């Protein structure tokens, strides 16, 4: 038995370890508190001897942690590993979005629903395709969805029929017609019919991308094709996925990129090389500096901090004390800001977030839209505040700053001062009146919302509720769930009458 001594049990025991959170005094100011997390075993020992800012439960021997503004995977020995999924330098918002599965299945017209603690699927009209009868489900990928009954995973087709009975220890998502599965300590692959295509014989296995999947065997990384044939017989100490035509690999501490025939893409090597984006750009690290390379190996930009790349637009700080700048895929500057406020690239526009308003710019720097923001309380722990309430306030503020005003499919979330959530379009018109407790971005024409009576629902682009849960939401506390919490009228405009100016220096 472990005596009550922690502020939170952030995750239940998995792989013999659990994450707990502690609230501790911060600095010299009375009442200031900070929250840190650590992993304990069933004897209540801090097994890694270190603390993290955030972290997830262990799954198949791997957990995701956020520490000192970097995101990593760790194994059950506490060793930090750097597969390509764990980009260094992600901010908290990116970390949250990574560990939270989207409820929207990519372009499949299937959306996850929950009744009590059971899960199913609806389509875009709100019609129930799969009744809520599973203990866990994941979004559809490649026309298939992984579902769990008890401790075993199975596979569903789009019409809800069973492709494979829940009999596997774990199943990944379908990519390229195959999915990795875990059974009796080894990984293999299933085809779209749920049949074993590649027998389980690997220590680790990931998704197929552009015809190749990376696996670990005998402590080395390899690439295999759909027939299980290896690309390179000797393997690597580390390898990333083939996002695009190139993949990063590493031996003896040096990273480089290879083509799908296993040959070097170019001669240049790096201290760290990450995956290429769909626009042919990749973040790299060499001699103490970050940069961005194209598929020819040309360094088009050198930065002081890890760059983020989205839709071919690069966001970074050229020097340590610089503000965030935006650059195009040729390394030419697009927009620079005088104040270091929260900035993101979203749906073709650059979002600039300040305390009082949100401004949007084209990639040529033209002001496209400006909308007011409601006042927000400051973050932090006060002396007499309940730790649960303080943690909720902190995560709530981070979530708001992360999702507020981000455009997806032409609509962005607006949050009022009394914490009602709605949506506005790219003309600043309030197309869906703020009436929700919280809301998610639109994906595939539908958005998930939380209703005032603790029920969950989905709304279409007109704001019509297409589905509402029959029972209030019941969610066991864990890190992802704690973080995320008819007649069409002419819409009103946010901040009607306020004239937009092109002077970013006025942003506070």
3-state SS record for 363-410: CCCCEEEEEECCCCCCCCCCCCCCHHHHHHHHHHHHHHHHHECCEECC
Does residue 148 belong to any structural domain of this protein? no
User: What is the structure's pLDDT at 19?
Assistant: 75
Does residue 95 belong to any structural domain of this protein? no
CATH number for the domain including 348? 2.40.10.480
- Domain final residue pick, 58, 81, 104: 81
User: What is the structure's pLDDT at 378?
Assistant: 54
Does residue 497 belong to any structural domain of this protein? yes
pLDDT, averaged in runs of 10, over the chain (508 residues): 52 70 53 63 77 68 64 70 38 40 61 90 95 93 93 95 95 94 94 96 93 93 94 88 91 94 93 90 92 94 87 81 80 75 78 88 90 71 51 57 86 92 96 94 93 90 94 51 34 43 37
CA distance 392 to 485: 9
Does residue 21 belong to any structural domain of this protein? yes
Domain containing 345 equals 337-444+477-508
Does residue 406 belong to any structural domain of this protein? yes
- Domains: count for the chain: 2
Name, in order, each residue with C-beta under 8 angstroms of 213's C-beta and a sequence gap of 6 or more: 176, 178, 180, 189, 205, 206, 207, 223, 224
User: What is the structure's pLDDT at 221?
Assistant: 94
- Domain final residue pick, 32, 59, 81: 81
DSSP three-state, residue 64: strand
Q: Cα dihedral angle (242, 247, 248, 249), rounded to 10 degrees? A: 100
> Which residue in 363, 377, 287, 372 sits closest to 330, CA to CA?
363
Does residue 263 belong to any structural domain of this protein? no
Please, are residues 361 and 370 in contact by the beta-carbon 8 Å criterion?
A: no
- Domain final residue pick, 23, 57, 81: 81
User: What is the structure's pLDDT at 50?
Assistant: 65
Does residue 246 belong to any structural domain of this protein? no
| 45, two tokens | 């020992």
User: What is the structure's pLDDT at 469?
Assistant: 92
Does residue 40 belong to any structural domain of this protein? yes
The pTM of the whole model exceeds 0.85 = no
CA distance 294 to 285: 14
User: What is the structure's pLDDT at 59?
Assistant: 61
Beta strands in 218-341 (DSSP E): 220-224, 238-239, 247-251, 254-258, 272-273, 281-286, 289-294, 299-303, 308-310, 313-316, 325-327, 333-336
């Amino acid at each position: 038995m472990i005596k009550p001594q922690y502020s939170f049990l952030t995750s239940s025991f998995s792989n013999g370890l659990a994450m707990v959170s502690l609230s501790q005094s911060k600095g010299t100011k009375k009442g200031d508190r900070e929250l840190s997390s650590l992993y304990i075993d069933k004897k209540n020992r801090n097994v890694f001897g270190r603390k993290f800012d955030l972290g997830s439960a262990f799954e198949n021997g791997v957990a995701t942690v956020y520490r000192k503004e970097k995101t990593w995977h760790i194994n059950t020995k506490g060793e930090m590993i750097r597969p390509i999924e764990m980009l260094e330098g992600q901010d908290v918002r990116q970390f949250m979005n990574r560990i939270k599965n989207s409820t929207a299945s990519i372009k499949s017209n299937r959306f996850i629903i929950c009744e009590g603690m059971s899960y199913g699927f609806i389509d875009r009209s709100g019609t129930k395709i799969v009744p809520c009868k599973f203990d866990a489900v994941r979004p559809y990928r490649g026309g298939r969805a992984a579902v769990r009954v008890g401790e075993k995973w199975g596979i569903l087709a789009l019409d809800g029929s069973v492709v494979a009975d829940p009999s596997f220890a774990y199943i990944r998502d379908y990519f390229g017609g195959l999915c990795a599965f875990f059974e009796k300590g080894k990984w293999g692959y299933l085809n779209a019919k749920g049949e074993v295509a590649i027998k389980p014989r690997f220590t680790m296995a990931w998704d197929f991308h552009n015809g190749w999947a990376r696996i670990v065997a005998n402590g080395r990384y390899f690439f295999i094709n759909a027939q299980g044939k290896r690309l390179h017989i000797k393997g690597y100490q580390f390898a990333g996925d083939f996002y695009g035509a190139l993949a990063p690999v590493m031996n003896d501490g040096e990273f480089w990129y290879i083509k799908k025939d296993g040959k070097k893409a170019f001669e240049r090597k790096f201290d760290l090389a990450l995956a290429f984006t769909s626009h042919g750009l990749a973040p790299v690290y060499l001699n103490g500096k970050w940069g961005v390379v194209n598929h020819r190996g040309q360094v088009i930009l050198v930065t002081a901090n890890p760059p983020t790349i989205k839709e071919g637009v690069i966001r970074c700080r050229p020097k340590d004390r610089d503000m965030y700048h935006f650059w195009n895929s040729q390394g030419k500057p697009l927009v620079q800001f005088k104040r270091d406020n929260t900035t993101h690239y979203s749906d073709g526009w650059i979002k600039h977030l300040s305390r009082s308003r949100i401004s949007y710019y084209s990639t040529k720097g033209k002001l496209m839209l400006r909308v007011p923001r409601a006042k927000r309380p400051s973050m932090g722990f006060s002396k007499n505040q309940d730790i649960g309430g303080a943690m909720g306030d902190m995560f709530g503020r981070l979530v708001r700053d992360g999702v507020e005003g981000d455009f997806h499919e032409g609509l962005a979330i607006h949050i009022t001062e009394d914490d009602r959530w709605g949506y506005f379009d790219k003309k600043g018109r309030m197309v869906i009146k703020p009436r929700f407790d919280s809301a998610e971005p639109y994906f595939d024409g539908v958005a998930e919302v939380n209703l005032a009576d603790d029920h969950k629902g989905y709304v279409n682009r007109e704001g019509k509720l297409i589905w509402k849960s029959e029972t209030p939401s019941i969610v066991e506390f864990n890190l992802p769930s704690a973080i995320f919490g008819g007649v069409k009228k002419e819409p009103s405009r946010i901040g009607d009458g306020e004239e937009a100016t092109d002077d970013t220096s006025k942003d506070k």
